[in-house]
Amino acid sequence: MMRRSFFSVPALALLQSPVASIRAWQAARHEQDDWLDANNARHRVILDTWNPEHFPDALQFAGNIVETNKTDYDIPATELAVVICVRHRTTPFAFNDAMWTKYGKSLSAQMAWSEPNSQGVPTANPYGKRLTGLAAQGVQLAICNRTTRAYSSRAAREAGGANDVVLKEFMGNTIIAGHFVPAGVVAVTRAQERGYANISIG
């Protein structure tokens, strides 16, 4: 009896310890991120981009995701949630030709990038056609608002315009459907907390 009691006491103490009562952690929810749940998708993916040199990879991978789910899994694009996050040096790819025509020199300089096939400063979104095609399949953008403010501020300064006016102009001229998120890097983490698989493009 004494021997059996010796082994039972630690076991009882373990069951009553605070560790045993710890509940699984769950991320907080914020209304700024609720758009990520505005779908009935069977699969959710976010592609995180920040270097313009690698942006074509994001477009290719997004297309592959949609196509492979359709051909190999019989899952239509309407049952997928595919988001491309544009932040840091890829943010300008969120804007349409009008913005590139007007502010292309400023955008290109701040990105420290020039389109390889261009004979000068791009005057149109170099990925506009591909993004439009992906949008037709339901792909959306998560657009970094912090970076948008930085680009629009420089564009306004160089054009002699007002910051708030140019910012509003940028936000009203996205190339496809997009959501301006407080910060792209935060949006990627929020997406993962809401069940999105993250593909880091660079």
What is the model's pTM? Answer: 0.88
Question: In this structure, what DSSP letter does residue 174 have?
Answer: B
Give the number of other Cβ atoms within 10 Å of residue 11's Cβ.
9
* Interval 116-162: pLDDT, tens: 777 678 899 999 999 999 999 999 999 999 999 999 999 999 999 99
Q: Which CATH number covers residue 93?
A: 3.40.1260.10
Q: Where on the phi/psi map is residue 105: left (φ > 0), alpha (ψ -120 to 50), or beta? A: alpha
Give the number of domains in the chain. 1
* Interval 98-122: pLDDT, tens: 999 999 999 999 999 988 777 678 8
In a domain, 5, yes or no: no
Q: Which of 146, 162, 167, 156 is nearest to 103 (CA)?
A: 156
Q: Which of 94, 134, 89, 125 is nearest to 109 (CA)?
A: 89
- The amino acid present at 24, given as its one-letter code, is A
Q: Which two tokens stand for residue 91?
A: 């943010």
Range of the domain at 117: 34-200
